[in-house]
Structure formats: C-alpha cells, structure tokens
Amino acid sequence: MSEFKLIPNEENEAATARLLETGAKVGADAYQFRVKNQTPHCKFGEQGICCRICSMGPCRITPKAPRGICGCDAHGIVGRNFLRFVAGGAATHSDHGRAICETLYHASPDGAYHVKDPDKLIRIAKEWGVETEGKDIYDLAHEIAYLALGEYGKVFGVQNWLSRAEAHTQELWKKADIEPRAIDREVSCSLHMTHMGNSSLPEALIRQSLRTGLADGWGGSMAGTEFSDVMFGTPKPIDTTANLGVMNAENVNIVVHGHDPSLSELVCDYAEDPEMIALAKEQGAKGITVSGVCCTSNEVAMRRGIPMAGNFLQQENVVLTGACEAIVVDVQCIFPALGPLSKCFHTKFITTSPICRMPDSDYIEFSVGTAAEKAKQIVKTAVLNFKNRKPELVHIPQLKSKATVGYSLEAIKKQLDTVTNSQVDETGTLKPLVDCITSGVIRGAVAMVGCNNPKVRPDSAHIGLMKKLIANDILIVASGCSAQAAARVGLMDKAAKDLCGDGLKRVCELADIPPVLHMGSCVDISRMMVLVSDLAKDAGCHVSQLPVVGCAPEWMSEKAVSIGNYVVATGIDTFLGVVPQVSGSDQVTNLLTGGIRDWVEAAYTFEPDIDKLGDEMIERIEEKRTALGI
C-alpha cells in the first residue's frame, strides 16, 4: 500500500480562506471578490463576436445584425480576434527572449552576467554555422547574441532553429506556408492582416495564427530558453520545496514574480551576500528567504533550488501572509491588484521594468548596466522593511511539499543514460524512453502546461489530470504554473511514484525521477518541442504519430494560446480545458478542432469537463499506439 500522500486541494483552499480572513481585517480586495463582480461575463466577448478594431464600431454580431458596419461577418471577426490574441502572446514571449539576448550581448567576465554554460553556447554556434575555433567565449557570446537579435528582424529567410525539427515537420511547415520568418515580422504582419479592411477569411487568419505561434515557440521562446541556459546554467535535477509554507516567519521574505531571470538571478545572489544577511540580523530577522511565484519562480527553482511559494493565482496570497517584505516583479502575469493590496500591509511592491509599470508600486528600474547595484538596492529595501512588519497580521499556512525539479532536455537525456549505462555522445539520446514507450511500460506522455484561471477551481484540473494520467502509466512533463501546481501538492516528490501505475512506477524507480518532470517556465515549452522532435527522430516516426499530447486545462493568457498554436503546429494534439473565445464562429472552431489537421497533422480539443478531457487524452494516446502497432 502506498504511504505517500499529496496535499489535498481542500487544505490548499482552507489555507486561502484563512488568508482572506487576514485580508478582511485590513480591508484588502482579492480576485475571488472581483470574479463575483465580473460574472456573468459579456456574452459577445466570450464568443469572440465583438469587433472594436475601427471607430465605425464597436460592432457586435447578433441574429438581427449578422454583419458589422464594414460587412464583416462573425467568422472574420472571431478569426481576427483570435489572431490578435496569438500575436499578443507571441510578442510577449519573444520580447522576453529578446531581453535575454540583449543581456547576453552585454555579458562580461567582470560584469553582472556571465557565460555559465560555454558548451551550450558552442553547440548553438555550430548549429548556426558560426566559427568557434580560437575565439574568446565572450566574443563568441556577443556574436551569437547579435545574430539572435537579428532573428527578430531578419530580412529574408525563416527562423534558424526550424532545422531542429524533425524533417517531416519541416516539410509540413513549408507546404502549409507557415514557416515563421522574422519574429517581429510575424507579429507585425498579424496586426496588419487584422486591421480594418484586411483579412476576414478564417483560413488565412488561422494560418497566420499558426505561423505567429511558431515564430514564438521555435524563435523567441527558444531564444529565451537557450540563452538563459547559456548565462545562468542549463538546469540539472535539484531538490527544492513548494507551497506557501516555504516562506519563513522568522526571516526577511523576498518574493520574486514575473519571467525574466536576469532580475531574479541577481536578487538571489544578493540575498546570499553576507553583508545583507548581517543587515537582516541587525533588523531582528534570522536570515533572508527568497521564494518565487509564477515563471520566474520556475527559472530560479530549476537553476538554484529556490523554493516555489505558488503559482499565478497565489500571487495575492503571498502578500496576505503578512510576512512578505517585498514582492519584486519584472514582466508579465502580474496582478495590478498587488499595488493596492501591498498598501494594506507593510509589503513593498517593487516594479523594475519599463514594460511593466503599475500604480502604487516602488519603481526601481533594472537594466543590464546597473543590474548589480539595483539588485542590491532591492534586497536592501526588503531587509530594511522587516521592522515594519505587523506581527498580529502574520500567518503563513504550514503547507510545504518536497520537489525535484530541473529536467531540461539535456538533463532528461543524461538521466536516461544512467539507467542504461549507455555510452553516448555529449548530446545524449532518448532511445531508452522510446523503448519504454514501445514496450508499453509507459503508455505515452502528456505535456501539462499553462496558467490557472478562476474559471476552473484553481489547480484542481492540473492536479486531477496528472493523478489520473500517471495512474495510467503516462509520464508527465510540465512547465509554467501547471508545474507549480504539481510541485505544491507533492507530485514532483520522487515518492509520488507510489501514485503511478506499475509500469511508470518502475521507470521512476530505475531512473530515479518523479513521475511529473519539471521542464521549466513557459518559454521552456520550447524544450518540449525539441524533446518531441528528438523523440520522433529516435523512434523513426513523425511527431504526430507519437503517443504524446499537450494539455492546458486552466490557461488564461494570450501567451498560452500562442503556445497552443506552436504545439499543435509541431504535430501534437492539444487539449484545452478553458474554451478560447471563438465559439461565435463554427468555421473558426472547426478549423482549430479539425481543419488544421490537414496542414499540421494535429488539432485542438476544447473540453471544459475535466474528467472527459482526461479520458479523451488517454484515448488519443491509445489510438496513436494502435496506429503504430505498439
């Protein structure tokens, strides 16, 4: 009998309820209340049939008014809205990637940013046909960073990294005319196509949506992942802890939130500085605890074992503990609510990026040139704020799980090698995994990704699906807030093997891995794209034939839809638990859930019933196995 127990969702929910009691004492607002004020949502918006891209409108489609003033029908309006949604997401991820490239361009041996993984840099240089022999590693870093920045605006040609895809995938992209050109061009072209009086043909709009998604996944996000690894190290398995109990009532608590590791890495560095720790002790604290929220948390957890306080919908909770000296943010997925909320407590809400300016925050602008000095200022501000804490408001829920994280593709290959003791080259092989899948010891794999969303009982879909899948011998790779949902209940504890079917359990024991592998932040879904491509190459089949699917059961952001598009366009069936705002057009819906299969051999399934969603994924995996004859 298994002795291992996950933290039940009820306990997490009780912890949130208790935190909201503290909030009530100080007059704090919270998303749970704002959801009530915003429901029911606008029906036109929900179905995607409101158009406000020109000032003859806004126009809304109804049975009595089937066309906007310009004559655009529901299909054109829904398709344009969808494409704009994708463009927003692709722009966001890719701009994050660009910031990483810029940081690398300024890396220097005596500066704040270094080349920690020179081997990876050299591998990329060889891939891109850049001479490496006899070059200083920093000169090479600057050269590659310059080329990478050029990918955003390259004049002709398509994204460099498309060549990593399996050959058949590349052919499909070419045939469907969705190979992404310059990253910025695809985003810009999407805005152009959706301007008043341009495309209203669903097929053209969805084709561009896929292309723009690919510019993200195989362009901007991949740059974010690869060059973060070059500078901060390629993740390797590392132990950490997760859930709100990682905050420490006796310490100064700094919470990092956002996406760009350039900020959080340095904050972590300074929090370890003896001078800062001494200062914290002078203030009456025992030390300094840095923990994370959202993707920035994934970044520093994977590389340094920094504990994960929570995911997207936990961001208000960390402030509600009354024990957060500073919540330090860079870009993306940050609630503007943190401003007013932090004012109800002693918490400093520190914004740092010109991309993300918010009222009621302390703005400490962070840039490559001033990084070290600003990171120190941020840590110091937090430490000096400890004395302002109101002890009567402090309550940290005592929930904490163990997690092993850091499964980059390189790390997965290495871990598999330890099982087979095979002698492989520096980049390794996925053959042992192929063998496990072929023999049926593992039935397949699911990439669990994306946010949480108050439209779903937070994290219940992530956790429920993962439990069901691993019990059915399906391996999970996870990223983003999905990964954090898993970590905070214990699914990334190696002991969680006890919750698996016999086959997966054996693999977990042999390979010494948890059944849910943490592959990183949302930009790191690019790691998963290379993983499936390599898997297909090693298995000698196409990506679309692999018993592998993608799932974002609680997604909410534009970025998530951009991700969905590149996952599908890479040949992986993708299952969404929150229906995108396209239901107002059967043509667009049919394309996304079926028609695009003719182009990319994969499509979406929308299913808000989470149990059914799980069943359908398992069914799809088994269908693919049958088709392969395994």
Nearer to ligand SF4, 57 or 118 (CB): 57
Q: Is there a binding annotation on residue 356? A: no
- To ligand SF4, the closest distance from the beta carbon of 67 in angstroms equals 8
Overall size of the chain counted in residues: 630
Q: 218: closest CA among 372, 97, 375, 364?
A: 97
Q: Is there a binding annotation on residue 189? A: no
Q: Provide the H-helix boundaries in 62-166.
A: 74-105, 118-127, 137-150
Q: Which of 49, 121, 295, 301 binds ligand CUV (CB under 6 A)?
A: 295
Q: What is the DSSP string of 142-195?
A: HHHHHHHHHTTT-SSS--GGGGGS-HHHHHHHHHHT-----HHHHHHHHHHHTS
Q: Which of 124, 276, 294, 578 binds ligand CUV (CB under 6 A)?
A: 294
- To ligand SF4, the closest distance from the beta carbon of 69 in angstroms equals 4
| Contact region with ligand CUV (CB under 6 A), list: 12-20, 142-150, 347-355, 553-561 | 553-561
196: contact with ligand SF4 by CB under 6 A: yes
Distance CA 314, CA 318 (A): 7
549: contact with ligand SF4 by CB under 6 A: no
Strand 252-257 relative to strand 288-293: parallel, antiparallel, unpaired?
A: parallel
628 binds, among ligand SF4, ligand CUV, none (CB under 5 to 8 A by kind): none
Q: Is there a binding annotation on residue 50? A: yes
Query: What is the x/- site pattern for ligand CUV, positions 309-328, by CB under 6 A?
Result: --xx----------------
481: contact with ligand CUV by CB under 6 A: yes
Q: 341: closest CA among 2, 8, 13, 19?
A: 19
| Helix, coil or strand: residue 548 | strand
Q: Which of 100, 280, 416, 451 binds ligand CUV (CB under 6 A)?
A: 451
- To ligand SF4, the closest distance from the beta carbon of 493 in angstroms equals 51
- To ligand CUV, the closest distance from the beta carbon of 552 in angstroms equals 8
53: contact with ligand SF4 by CB under 6 A: yes
Distance CA 151, CA 127 (A): 14
Q: What is the DSSP string of 550-589?
A: EEETT--SHHHHHHHHHHHHTT--EEESS--TTTT-HHHH
Strand 59-60 relative to strand 50-51: parallel, antiparallel, unpaired?
A: antiparallel
Q: Using CB atoms, what's the residue nearest to ligand CUV?
A: 451
Q: Is there a binding annotation on residue 295? A: yes
SS (H, E, C) 474-533: EEEEEEHHHHHHHHHHCCCCHHHHHHCCHHHHHHHHHHCCCCEEEEECCCCHHHHHHHHH
Q: Which of 30, 51, 162, 569 binds ligand SF4 (CB under 6 A)?
A: 51
69: contact with ligand SF4 by CB under 6 A: yes
Q: Which residues pair with 517 in a beta bridge?
A: 477
Q: Which stretches of the chain bind ligand CUV, using CB under 6 A?
A: 259, 294-295, 311-312, 333, 450-451, 480-481, 521-522, 557, 559-560
Q: Which stretches of the chain bind ligand SF4, using CB under 6 A?
A: 51-54, 56-59, 68-70, 72, 77, 196
Binding residues for [4Fe-4S] cluster: 42, 50-51, 54, 59, 70
